[in-house]
Amino acid sequence: MRPLPLIIILLILDHVAFNGSRIAVSLFAIHLKSSALTVGTLMATYAVLPALLSVATGRWIDRVGLQRPMLIGSTGLLLGILLPFAWPALPVLYATSVLVGSSFMLVNLAAYHAVGELSSDDDRPVNFSYVALGFATSGFIAPMITGLSIDHLGYRLAFLVLGLFALMSLLALLVERLPTPPRHPEAGSTARGPVWGLLREPAVRRLFITMAVLTLGWDIYTFAIPVYGAQTGLSASQIGVVMGSFSAASFAIRLAMPFISSRVRPWTLLGVSLLTAGSSFVAIPFAPGVGTLMALMFVLGLGLGAPQPIVLTLLHQMAPAGRGGELLGLRTTLINTGQTVMPLVFGALGAVLGMAPLFFAMAVAMWAAGAATRIGTARTRSVES
């Protein structure tokens, strides 16, 4: 099989396992009568080790390539997801969150870096669009399978079903060896300077701020929608359908990204996406039923689904030679630091104020970031002129 399709298939399998586990862990914790704060704590533990280790992991991937990190990551995913099947208790969910989160970090960093390194400047946006399509596919499959498995098989067997996806990825890696991107043994050495020096470039800083807001939007969606749906009386299957609508929109917009990216400036696209997502967030508390909520999730999926290929392309283009994995690691560190802290904040606020204030605050943040992207658009045009 050609390298890019194989990498995308592996990402789909591992992301179904990862994303499904986040939903299953949240709903299982709610089933065990846990508070919103406990659910937020569980979601935060997914990001603890990635927040601490992503930069070092990115440097390691720069040196060793793709195969070993993908093997270790898929194995860790399988073991972490099977833990609640073997021991279905709340303390075990914390171990699952840590192991699954850190294992998927390995898979994610290695695959992103490989796609960037194996692509030319001309086809890199299209290739990252295909990767994003893969994530949209898995994002659609995961909540549907998770919700249906919980409703029809129970929580223990739902984790077993999700573990099968990680097992398929692991078996594929054992059967067919992945290609080796160009390696940079000198990457990560002290001669190349501290990692935070990568943020000295204003364009890189703007991109990281934009990524932080977009990631926060994904976190609010992933954390708050299952909790909000459960609080409003939706079943696990209905929550899965609602979240599937989001993923269907992400798939649709990413399918169109090769066409859109060739006609719309990157920063303009990021600004429109942020404004669209913010408008959906502010309307969620007023949704009268499942149908309306599905429609809002579809709009939200369009807003949050479009930026990923553009962000990854810009990030790879901005990375110094031999430090692509390191810059991706820095991105993952900043994202997961937010994912460690913010679910705790979301859980605490949700327990006290409910979900609506979280949606309103996220809308304001999205709109502010969308307005700020005009700076990037204006500076890009001034450079081109």
User: Tens of pLDDT along 103-132?
Assistant: 998 998 888 888 877 777 777 777 888 888
Q: What is the C-alpha to C-alpha distance for residues 170 and 209, in angstroms, rounded to an integer?
A: 35
Residue 318 burial class via C-beta count within 10 angstroms: exposed 0-12, middle 13-18, buried 19 and up = middle
With respect to residue 301, please indicate whether it lies within any of the assigned structural domains. yes
How distant is the alpha carbon of residue 334 from its chain centre? Answer: 13
C-alpha distances in Å from residue 291, one per residue of 143, 166, 241, 295: 17, 32, 10, 6
Per the model's pLDDT, the better-predicted residue between 119 and 159 turns out to be: 159
With respect to residue 153, please indicate whether it lies within any of the assigned structural domains. yes
Strands (E) across 307-362 are located at none
Q: What is the pLDDT of residues 358-384, one digit of tens each?
A: 888 889 889 988 887 766 555 555 444
Are the beta carbons of 110 and 178 closer than 8 angstroms?
Answer: no
What's the CATH number where 326 sits? 1.20.1250.20
Q: Is 57 helix (H, G, I), strand (E, B) or coil?
A: helix
With respect to residue 189, please indicate whether it lies within any of the assigned structural domains. no
With respect to residue 130, please indicate whether it lies within any of the assigned structural domains. yes
Are the beta carbons of 304 and 217 closer than 8 angstroms?
Answer: yes
Amino acid at 3: P
Amino acid at 70: M
Q: What is the C-alpha to C-alpha distance for residues 111 and 55, in angstroms, rounded to an integer?
A: 15
Q: Is the pLDDT at 12 greater than 50, yes or no?
A: yes
With respect to residue 186, please indicate whether it lies within any of the assigned structural domains. no
Q: What is the pLDDT of residues 179-237, one digit of tens each?
A: 666 555 444 444 455 666 666 777 777 888 888 888 888 878 877 888 888 888 888 78
Q: What is the pTM of this model?
A: 0.71
Domain residue limits at 256: 3-180+199-380
Are the beta carbons of 136 and 251 closer than 8 angstroms?
Answer: yes
With respect to residue 268, please indicate whether it lies within any of the assigned structural domains. yes
Q: Is the pLDDT at 173 greater than 70, yes or no?
A: yes
With respect to residue 187, please indicate whether it lies within any of the assigned structural domains. no
Per the model's pLDDT, the better-predicted residue between 360 and 1 turns out to be: 360
- Percent of the chain scoring above 70 in pLDDT: 86
With respect to residue 29, please indicate whether it lies within any of the assigned structural domains. yes
Q: How many domains does the chain have?
A: 1
